[in-house]
Amino acid sequence: MKHLKAVAATVIATSLLCGCGSAAGTPVGAGTSQQAPVPGSPSPAPAGSAAAAPCRAAVITLGYGQRLSPMTGEHGVMYTLTNRGRVSCTLAGYPDIALFTASGARLPFHYTRGHGEYVTSAPPTTAVLAPGVSAYVLVAKYRCDLGSQLNAAAIQLTLPGPQPVVLTGRVAADGAGVSELSYCRGGPADPGQVIAVSPIEPTPNATTAFASAAHS
Q: For the chain of 216 residues, list the mean pLDDT of each consecutive stretch of 10.
A: 35 31 40 35 48 89 77 86 96 94 93 91 95 95 92 88 75 48 91 95 91 56
The total number of structural domains that make up the chain: 1
Residue 134 burial (CB count, 10 A): 23
Furthest-apart CA pair in the chain: how many Å? Answer: 51
What is the pLDDT at residue 69? 64
Residue 189 burial (CB count, 10 A): 7
What is the pLDDT at residue 68? 55
Residue by residue, DSSP assigns 26-71 as: EEEEE-EE---------SPPPTT-TTSEEPPGGGEEEEE----PPP
What is the pLDDT at residue 209? 87
What is the pLDDT at residue 60? 93
> Is the distance from CB of 47 to CB of 102 less than 8 angstroms?
no
Query: Is position 8 within any domain?
Result: no
Query: Is position 20 within any domain?
Result: no
Q: Which of 57, 29, 20, 50 is nearest to 175 (CA)?
A: 20
Query: Is position 2 within any domain?
Result: no
What is the pLDDT at residue 1? 38
Query: Is position 19 within any domain?
Result: no
d(CA 154, CA 161): 23
Q: Which of 200, 181, 172, 160 is nearest to 34 (CA)?
A: 160
What is the pLDDT at residue 204? 92
d(CA 85, CA 82): 9
Query: Is position 82 within any domain?
Result: yes
What is the pLDDT at residue 107? 94
Query: Is position 4 within any domain?
Result: no
d(CA 164, CA 33): 6
Query: Is position 3 within any domain?
Result: no
> Is the distance from CB of 5 to CB of 68 less than 8 angstroms?
yes
Query: Is position 148 within any domain?
Result: yes
**Paired residues of 61 in beta bridges:** 30, 82
Sheet containing 53-54: order of strands:
53-54, 89-92, 126-129
Helices (H), the chain: 209-215
Q: 44 lies in which domain range?
A: 26-215
